[in-house]
Every structure is written in C-alpha cells, then in structure tokens.
Structure 1
Amino acid sequence: MSIHHLVDTIVHNDPWLAPYRSQLTHRLIAIEARRQQLCHTQQQDHAPNALIDIASGHEYFGLHFRNNQWQFHEWAPNASAIYLVGDMNQWQPSAEFQFQRIDGHGHWELLLPETALQHGQHYRLHMVWPGGEGPRIPAYARRVVQDSQTLIFSAQVWRPKSPYCWKNHFKRPNVTPLIYEAHVGMAQEEGKVGSYQEFTVNTLPRIKAAGYNTIQLMGIPEHPYYGSFGYHVSSYFAPASRFGSPEALMELIDTAHGMGISVLIDLVHSHAVANHVEGLGLYDGTSYQFFHEGPRGRHPAWDSCCFNYAKPEVLHFLLSNCRYWLDNFKVDGFRFDGITSMLYHDHGLGQAFTSYDHYFNHNVDLDALTYLALANQVIHNLRPDAITIAEDMSGMPGLALPTAQGGIGFDYRFAMGIPDLWIKYTKDIRDEDWSIVHLWHELINRRHDEKTISYTESHDQALVGDKTLIFRLADAAMYWHMNRDDEHLLIDRAIALHKMLRLVTLATAGHGYLNFMGNEFGHPEWIDFPREGNHWSYHHARRQWSLADNPNLKYCLLNNFDQAMLALCKTYDALRYSDVHLLWVRDDDKVLAFERHGLIWVFNFHANKSFTDYSIPAPAGEYEVILSSDDERFGGHNRLATDTPHVTLPVEDSTSEGHSQRLHLYLPTRTAIVLKNRQFWSTQKPG
C-alpha cells in the first residue's frame, strides 16, 4: 500500500488528523527511508527479511565460542587499543589478549583458542583512547555480575556444560491480555533479593491461580542500582544476575509457558544509565558513540544518557536487543518504557498535550519515532504472535496502529490517565462529591482506533512517596482493623470502593487490563528499595503474601473478588468486544450502568443511599446476576439475592440508547453488580 493510501487510512480513522496530512506523510517517508538506509548500510537492500537479519548484532558482537575458538568483536570507533583483561591474565593488558582493528569503521576483533577462557571467569575490556584509558564492560555482554565484597561489576564467561533445554513450544494465544506486572527481586516475603527460581516455584502458581494470562517482568536487563527498579539499564543483553543465572530466567519463562502464561519484559530504550565502567557512557572515550553529544545527550530529569536514534550503529544495537530477548529467552513481547521521553526533544516534561498541534511540530523527535516503528517491524515480522505495549502519556496519534494502517505498530498503549484519575478522586475529593458523569467520560476517553490497556494502579502508584489505592482509601486503619471479625466503617468503605474502582476500570478497559503484584489483594505498604535514606532496608522491597493467605484477614476477600472479576472477564470474553454502551448515569444518585457484549454492569457509588426498584434502560430480556461485589466472600454484606432473575418491563418513553425496556434493581450502597442477558447468551458460547 502506498504512503498516501496509508495516510488516507489513518485520517479516515481519525478525521481530526486531516490538517496534519503532510506531517503524517513525512513521518511515513522518514520511516521507510531509515529502513532503506539500514538495509543499504548492511548491504541487504533487497533481502526479503533484511530488517530481521540486520537485527542480529548480538550474534556477532560480544564474546562467542564458535568453530572451536573464542571470537570477540567490538565496535569502538574512537578507541586506539582494546585489551581483554580478567581472571585469565591477572587483569593486566597483554599482547596475547589485544584486539585487532579490522576496518575503518571502528570494528575490532579478538580470536582465542578454546583453552584461553574458562566458564565462570570474570573479565572486562581495557579500552585505550587518545588522551585516556579505562575499564569497560562489553556493550553486548550476556552475563554481568557484581562482586559482593568490592561491589565492582564484571562480565563473566558463560558457557555452561549443559545449556538450558526448553520444554514447552509456546505460541502466545490470541486472547485479551490480563497482565500481572511483577518484579522478581521483591516477589518474596523475606527481606532480601528474590531469585528467578523462587519466582518460578512460589509466585508463578499464584499468578496462574489468580487468573492472569500474561506476566510483565520489570528490571530484567542488568542495572547497577537496584533501587532504579531496572530503569537505568547498563547491560542490555545481560539478564540481571542478582536474581540468578540466565538458565534460571529461561526456566521461569518456560514454566510460565507451560502454564499457558505469556511473558513480557520491560524494554528500556528511552535512555541508558550514565555509568562509564558498567554502562555505555564514554564507552570508547567519547560521549557521543551511542548518545547525542552535548546537552541533548543527557536527560535533565533522569540523570541518564539519551540515545542517538539517527545513527545506524545505534539502531543496529537496539534492534538487535529486541531480537535477542525473543531469540534467546523466548519472551512474548515487550512493554516499551518511557515512550513519551523518546518522542519529544523536551521529553514531554511539563507538557499538557491538550492540542493535536503538540504531536506535529519541531519538538517531535522524528528519529526516535522512526526507531520505534522499525523495532515493531522487527518484533512482529520475527514473532507475529508477540505483542508490544507503548507507555506513552502524551497520546501521540498512531502509536498503537498497525503499520498497514499508517501507524507506528504497537499492539497496545497504556491508558495512563486512569490511575491519575483515581489518585485525584481518592486523594482530593470526598466520594460523596464524585461526579459519575465525569468518571464515565474519563474512563472511556481514549483513541478508539487504537487498542488500550487500562489499570487502576501500577508500580508507579506504589512507590515510596505515593500510596497504593487501598492505602489512600483506608490509610493507617489498615494496620489495626483488617481482621474479618473487626467491623470498622473506614475499612468497610475502603474495601467496597477498592472492588468497585477495579471492576469499573476493567469493565470499561479498551482491550486489556493490568495489575501490579499484590495490589489484587490490597497490599498495604508502599515499595521502597534499599537505599541510604532507609538504612539499606529490604522491609518495603517485598510482598506480604501471607496477608492474602490468612483466612482470618480481609485481604483474602479482596483476593477472592479479583479472581472472580477476571474469571468473569475471561468466561464472557468481555474485553474482546470494545464497544461500551452507556445506559444510565446520574450524579445525584451516583449510579452508573452500561452494556458490553451481553453483560450489564451497574455501579452504585452512593456513600449512604441504597435504592430499591431502581429503574435503568436495558435491552429487552431476562437477566441474572453473575457477580456482586456485595457478596460475603468478597467482604460484602450479602444484601443481594443473586439467584433472583430480573426481567425487563416495557416503558412508553425511551430515554437512553433507544431502549423501550427497563430493568428494576435493588442497588445497595457502594455496590457493583454484573448481569447477563440470558437470551443473548443462549446464542453465544462463553469461554
């Protein structure tokens, strides 16, 4: 399809883009031009899988054992000499371990006999450049470890006698992603750094039992500072060794696949840690090898380095990183972190993005946008079943549109405004004063031509200095009144609203849903990684699973509700059908009702008023309640008889959505119910 036809398609989907046809055309031309430039650079202009083949730098660069010898390749244009130093030569540069420059483009090579290196040995590069020298960890290192005594990072020769043998041939099923965002290191209750193995044995079964079909793992690529949550990456091709071996991560992913669970990882290509030895900062003695030179190369808010996405070698590095995790660890896709920071020269800092003009001006970093499009092409051409998710708060049009429709190619984008909405409502407004009309507008306010994933809270809302949703609702009362036999009004309110907010977020989600680990049962405490300010404590860098496992505490009731909520979503495949039809919304009554794929979702947010015989418009038929947040097993008061059928009654005047029938319901205060249309579902096949 021609570029002009692609622009016609994206404008047809969103007529507000019509004034920006020329910018959209320029965007697509730039993407194709960059693709051709890369292919020409690698002399693969006409190869059918040229871009996939280009994204294979990880098979050339770095340390490899091939043809009965060790082969080591590096790209360091400014270097005047490179030596391999480590356990094998007492960390001293020597002629035996000196690289040779093999071309005029900064490529270096070292060939060694098999006996020169042994599995487990530590090494670094000793890089020499005009006017200086220093130790460096290779950019493509696949194993990086930190010495527990000196705290110094080194690469490690990794050639185990028995490579991991994959057990499951897995293809990600075409299902609604119900994502469990997790962090391996803090997934255990003990105050320590958790391991891949512990996550596999202890946490994966919890995720499976909870009903989530996708895991999003944070902090997998190596990062020197644990407290960065994995977002200051140093070694892009090395899985974080503080959690265990590469094989242990493979076993984690393989085990998840055996459970039918897809595994995504956070990919941080928006910036890199500025460290010189551990990271890519001043890698060959220059600040501009991988990054922009001068102020543009430094992120003012994150104290990190910004990639130069116009450089073919940098694109080669980043595209290869996408393929590496798909090839070597069989991940099923990526959440691309910090997209907004990439897309704009000012990183989106302080920008409200209230006009389409903000998406089409000189502030947009076209090189970054081009890279994201090429990354999606590599990922989807290599693994058509893989998914990519954009973390963008700006609302850039076309990010989550397929390339065949003129988009950048992400499968989903996060609905990042929704957690901010819940913070505003729970922090600043009494629920007696909530505008249900406004809530409804914000919950469905998204680009309807692009797929979105909604969430009430992610790890961002749980970090120290912030509060989880349940803690905003209950505050310190959680520490004293979570016993099941303890009747406490504030806790009762918090539990009721916690269920309702999560259910209404799921029910109105565009095409997927995300939860951060522990929040499904109302984990009470924030996340605070070991740091000087907390005396290097692990107390808040863990998850208290025992709270949910204790039948005498109310956490298990929230856990029950989350399981039931997801089970309903999967049984009726609710999110596959994105059309949500408003039936009724009233600010004075605090009542919201809408229909989605044969299900009616009704919410009474009123703080103190229950309604008997409440009338709402509905498609004609007989209905049954299939979920009630007021159920006793969910911490409710059992005020609803869920086995009573409800039949619509005709009315003379249609007041909403053209329905001439109405349902009459009992709506207890702070309660949500879901009803299914028996006639509709008699012709459908629940999942």
Structure 2
Amino acid sequence: MPQEEKGTPAAARPEVRTERRPSHHHRQFEVMGAHPTERGTWFTVWAPNARAVGVIGSFNQWHCEPLYRLDDGSGRWAGFVEGARAGQCYKYRIQDVAGHWMDKADPYAFRMEHPPGTASQIWDLSHEWGDADWMRTRWQRQAHKQPISIYEVHLGSWQREEDGRFLNYRDLALRLATHCHNMGFTHVELMPIAEHPFYGSWGYQITGYYAPTSRYGTPQDLMVFVDTLHQQGIGVFLDWVPSHFPADPHALARFDGTALYEHDDPRRGFHPEWNSLIFNYGRYEVRDFLISNAIFWLEKYHFDGLRVDAVASLLYLDYARRHGEWIPNAHGGNENHEAVGFLRDLNTSVYAAFPDVHMIAEESTAWPAVSRPVEWGGLGFGMKWNMGWMNDTLRYFSRPHFFRHWHGDDVRFSMVYAFDENFILPLSHDEVVYGKGSLLARQPGDDWQRFAGLRNLYGYMWTHPGKKLLFMGGEFGQAEEWHHERTLDWHLWARPYHAGLARWVADLNALYRRVPALHVHDFDSEGYAALPCERHEATILASLRRGAPGDAYVVAIVNLTPEPRKALRVALPEAGTWHELLNSDAAYYGGSGVGNLGAVEASTHGVGGWPASALVTVPPLGTVILSNRPIPTNAPTQGDPHARQ
C-alpha cells in the first residue's frame, strides 16, 4: 500500500473535500464517511496519525483500495471507489505509525451491519417525509408553556413478535402511536438507538454514532417511525450519549493507532464506572464530530429533541473516581472546563439550527443554570431531569405508611428549588432495574394499597410543577422489574387493578393537557402555591395551580396514608362550588369509592390567610383534584395542538 500521497492534483478529488474548514464546522456528515454517486462512492475518514489508509469491502472482494491524504492539514484521507454502491459493506484498513494494520468501522457510517457483524454499510438517506404539518407547528406544540408528557421506551423490549423476534421500526410506530393516543402522552422518548454491539448496554455503549441500529430495520424504517408518530401528533425525543464510548477494537478506540477521539491518559480518558472511554472535548475535531452528530439526528430523522445522557459525568473531572485517579483543572478544581465549553457550543449550535427542539440534560448534581441560556452563564439546555425530586419521592413512597409522618420533607423539599431549572419529573428506566423492583412493587402494603399508592404517586406527580416522564410499563403497573430481554407483561391489562391504573394515567394526561393551570407555569413560581389545612397534617399535601388570568384554578389534595380524611378543611382562593375533576379512589380506577359526590362548597371561612376554605373528604392513599370550573377530561379543548383528531 502506498505511503501518504502529498500534492495530489486538485482536479483529481472533489472540491468540497479540499477546502479548509472552520474549526467549528458542525455538518461533518456532509463531508465525512461514505457518499454514493451514480458511478461509485466517495470515502473520507479522519486518521491524522496513520501511515496509510485504504478501504475494503464487498465491492472489491475485501482487497484494500488506497485512499490519499488530503493536503489541507486536516488529517483526512479520501478516495473514490468505482462501482461501490449503496447497501454494500466496508471498513477502513489503517496502518499506524508502528506499521501495524487494523480494520475499523466508519465513524460516520449511516448504517452498520446487524450485530454481531461490525462492518459499515454504504447508504443513501433519501426519504419523502409526510410530517410537514407537525414540523410547521412544532414551535407551538413544544413551547415551554405547552403540556409535555413523555413516554420513555426501549424499542427492543416494549413489544416483540410472538416468536421473540424484534419488531420493525414501522410496526413499532403504528403500535406506539395508538398506545400514546390512548394514554394521552404527547411525546415518546427512545432509549439510545445508535448502533451498539452489546444489546445489554441498552444502547448506551455506542459504536455507530450516525447509524440507527439495524436490529429494528433500515434508516428509512426509522424515518417512517418518526414520520408516523408526527402525523399522529406525537413528538419523538432521542436519548443521546456524548459522555463515553466503548473500547471495541473495530470502532473509535485508538482509531488511527493513537488516542484520537479519547484522552490518552486514563485519568481523563477512561470511565471506571462504565468501563468505557471518554471523549477528548478539548479537541475541536471531536467536538465537531459530536455536535455534527446531534444536528444529524435532528435534521435527517426529524427528532424533536435530544435527551443528553450522563451530563454530570462530563462536568466533573473526578466523577466516579477516587483520590489520585483524576487530574485537576488548571485552577486545581474538579470542573471539566473543556466539557463545559463543548456543552455550551452544542446547545448554542443546535438551537441556532433548530430553535423549536428541546435539548434535555440528565444531570444529577446541583450544577447551577443547566437549563439557562449560555449568554446568562448557563449551559444552554432547554430542560433538565429533576433527579432530586425523583430520589426523594421514590424514597418517600417506598416507606411504610406508618413512618411517613416523620419524613414529610421528602415530598415537600422539591418545592424549595422547583423553579431553579426547567425541570422534567422523571420516573425512568433507571428506577426499575438492578433489584430496585417495579414502581408497583416498591409501594408498601397489601395488593390494594400498592395500586392505590401508585395511583397516588402519579396524582402527586402530574399535579406537581414540571413536565412529566414515565417509563414504559409504569402506565399499567408492570409487576416485574424491567429486563431488556423480555417484553412488558401486556396480559396484565386484563386484570382490573392494572386496567384501572391505566385509566387513571390516561385521565391524568388528559387533564394535564386540557387545563392550562397544570402546564403553562410548569417552570415558574407564578403558577404554584401550597395550601394550608386548618389542622396541619404532615401526610396531607394540598397545592394550588394557576394558569393565565381568567383561567380555571386547580387544587390537588394528596393523602399519603391509608386512613381516609373526612371533613378536612382546606384553604382555597375563592368561595363557591369546587368541582371534583378526578379522584384516584374512584371505583373506575380500582379504588374504594370514597369522595365528595362530585363537588364541595367553599365558604368565606378563611384559613391561613386565604380568603376561603371547604370541607373536603380525601380518600385513603388518594389524590383529589378540584377546580372552580367543571372541566371534562375526555373531550379535547379548543385550540389544543395535541388534541386527538
């Protein structure tokens, strides 16, 4: 194989591959990788420290076709292979400076072989989209003042064929669209679907950053998936992993024989918690690779936002490390300034290109201003998962009822910081694995109390400020812990308690979407107030949600014990009739039927400085939702962009 070819005539190669690019070129997928034409395919790969680079594939019987080093100082190699066409497999054959040869998958490949195969595939990403109405109105549907209720899904274990085979993206789309319509979710969030060799990683150990996993079909099948959900009025978020990557020898690790995408020093380049490698965020080619990848998914696949995984692991140099296992920054601190710069560049670039999408941070610490603009000193995300709320809430709801009286701060503390960020309240896949048990199994008490407790948890969650996220199976009370190798227990829908729970979630979603007070001020304190009871009850939560001036008020009263509270005097903002919109203890949901016969009358008897109050019956382990106006939950509100057609 020839050594590097310097000074190759410009006429012999495409102009787009020779011009000097700016250091922050965030559309690398237009240049890098394999791009088929009528006569063959152009290949371009970044391997600045390689001695020689070629391409092997089914188009040349896996014999090496040499590429030439571009003379623009970029470290890229390129070449045209006559007859190489879409669908054919290939790899790059790279010789390092020591003379060793290795075969590598294309970091920019648009499709990969079905695992356990590791070759890249030439692919044409053309698709005729049918979601113009969704894309035109997405800015309105996804505004912060709109309801956002997310159904988190792992595609390989949500549903499968009867014989255990994976469903195709297209089949999954039809089933998911129907399910989300029935349940009232506004969005689906997909756990990572970029190609990953180990299925048990759930998609979080990625080797093909630009290739949707072929387990469920082709890139066009995934486009149809997103297209179908959009045409049914459902948004689609993608879980995206820029925090680490596996050390599989066919992929990014030591790509040209050197630490190219990762740090060479394991104190910065190796992640001890996940046994994986960490991107070198200080290298502009790596930043461009990742930011281009984010833009790629949003542009080519019309995703409506990215949930960025494990942001805390990027922010802190000592994340998951003991003393001596990390290198402080230039100021002696543990902040990763290069990663902070990358995240700010990422969010700035994405929102500049797609102002109507959401960048969502899974960030588990108190790092300030995660979801505040970069120009304000923030990281620039649009929303952030509220991990503190999740941990405190699940700890509280797992406690035996008798002990809850002494742990009220667990369900009240979240309001101290509820509006510091634009929070999503997540009950995600991480909460139902590794021995934690399902959400249903974590509820204390007998069978009836467990279902009542889970309905109560959802009632508390859906009336708490913040957007909502629920992992698949939670909507009907999956009894067993989630496992990626088996589907959900859909047969449980035939059981009354499970079916009742599903009806409760559907009605909560319907109310959340149709009542402005429950969503327009999710991110600011103007829409929330705690309501006192005449006799303080540590296990009673009462709260007021407000919309715009003139909108209906909503009051939620949550009883966290199995003893009903009758004639509980609760403060209210005005006297008159308050209608019982929802009651989690209704027999329709599997409850005991304790309630207020549809309404309560509020008098001018003031409580705790509020001008009115009413005597309310709050059922055992129950949530009662009242409003000063009657609001149906089963009919779309005029002008609701998410309303069912």
Please classify the TM superposition score into its range, dividing by the shorter chain length.
0.7 to 0.9
Q: Does 1:331 align with 2:311?
A: no
Q: Does 1:649 align with 2:576?
A: no
Comparing 267-276 and 438-447, the one that deviates more: 438-447
Cα deviation, residue 507, structure 1: 1.3
Cα deviation, residue 502, structure 1: 1.4
Distance in 1 between the 2:626 and 2:322 partners? 43
Q: In the alignment, is the contact (CA less than 8 A) between 2:44 and 2:79 conserved in 1?
A: yes
Cα deviation, residue 461, structure 1: 1.1
Letter in 1 for 2:498: Y
1:556 to 1:680, Cα distance in 2 relative to 1, 3 A: closer
Aligned counterpart, 2:68: 100
Cα deviation, residue 436, structure 1: 6.2
What is the Cα-based RMSD across aligned positions, in Å?
A: 2.5
Distance in 1 between the 2:575 and 2:639 partners? 18
Q: Does 1:625 align with 2:596?
A: no
Distance in 1 between the 2:622 and 2:131 partners? 43
Cα deviation, residue 427, structure 1: 4.1
Aligned counterpart, 2:183: 210
Comparing 576-585 and 280-289, the one that deviates more: 576-585
Aligned counterpart, 1:307: 279
Correspondences of 1:378-417 after superposition (within 5 Å): 378-417=349-388
Q: In the alignment, is the contact (CA less than 8 A) between 2:600 and 2:615 conserved in 1?
A: no
Find the partner of 1:473 among 420, 440, 443: 443
Structure ranking higher in helix proportion: 1
Find the partner of 2:488 among 523, 530, 543: 543
1:554 to 1:428, Cα distance in 2 relative to 1, 3 A: closer
Q: Does 1:198 align with 2:171?
A: yes
Correspondences of 1:203-602 after superposition (within 5 Å): 203-277=176-250, 279-347=251-319, 362-435=333-406, 437-446=408-417, 448-455=419-426, 457-473=427-443, 490-510=446-466, 512-529=467-484, 538=485, 541-548=486-493, 550=494, 552-573=495-516, 574-578=518-522, 579=525, 580-584=528-532, 588=537, 590-597=539-546, 598-602=553-557
Q: Does 1:672 align with 2:623?
A: yes
1:376-399 per-residue CA deviation (whole Å, 9 max, x = no partner) reads 111111111000110000121011
Q: In the alignment, is the contact (CA less than 8 A) between 2:572 and 2:612 conserved in 1?
A: yes
Q: In the alignment, is the contact (CA less than 8 A) between 2:194 and 2:213 conserved in 1?
A: yes
Cα deviation, residue 350, structure 1: 8.2
Distance in 2 between the 1:42 and 1:467 partners? 54
Distance in 2 between the 1:397 and 1:363 partners? 15
1:679 to 1:471, Cα distance in 2 relative to 1, 3 A: closer
Residue aligned with 2:501, SS: helix
Q: In the alignment, is the contact (CA less than 8 A) between 2:36 and 2:85 conserved in 1?
A: no
Letter in 1 for 2:131: N
Distance in 2 between the 1:324 and 1:350 partners? 37
Cα deviation, residue 84, structure 1: 1.1
Aligned counterpart, 2:643: none
Q: Does 1:117 align with 2:66?
A: no
Aligned counterpart, 1:153: 118
Cα deviation, residue 348, structure 1: 5.5
1:445 to 1:61, Cα distance in 2 relative to 1, 3 A: same
1:29-71 per-residue CA deviation (whole Å, 9 max, x = no partner) reads xxxxxxxxxxxx96659xxxxx6xx211000000002475421
Distance in 1 between the 2:63 and 2:38 partners? 27
Residue aligned with 2:496, SS: coil
Count residues with an aligned counterpart: 587
Distance in 2 between the 1:193 and 1:383 partners? 32
Q: What TM-score comes out, normalization by structure 2 length?
A: 0.86
1:242 to 1:545, Cα distance in 2 relative to 1, 3 A: same
Distance in 1 between the 2:600 and 2:399 partners? 39
Residue aligned with 1:469, SS: coil
Segments of structure 2 that go 5 or more residues without pairing to the other structure are 1-18, 324-328, 547-552, 641-645
Letter in 1 for 2:529: H
Distance in 1 between the 2:20 and 2:588 partners? 62
Q: In the alignment, is the contact (CA less than 8 A) between 2:369 and 2:379 conserved in 1?
A: yes
Distance in 2 between the 1:437 and 1:309 partners? 42
Letter in 1 for 2:507: A
Q: In the alignment, is the contact (CA less than 8 A) between 2:305 and 2:359 conserved in 1?
A: yes
Q: In the alignment, is the contact (CA less than 8 A) between 1:292 and 1:307 conserved in 2?
A: no
Distance in 2 between the 1:43 and 1:601 partners? 56
Aligned counterpart, 2:127: 164
1:676 to 1:261, Cα distance in 2 relative to 1, 3 A: same
Distance in 2 between the 1:562 and 1:122 partners? 46
1:55 to 1:426, Cα distance in 2 relative to 1, 3 A: same
Distance in 1 between the 2:129 and 2:254 partners? 38
Comparing 266-275 and 432-441, the one that deviates more: 432-441
Aligned counterpart, 1:38: none
Cα deviation, residue 473, structure 1: 1.9
Distance in 1 between the 2:40 and 2:90 partners? 17
Distance in 2 between the 1:392 and 1:350 partners? 20
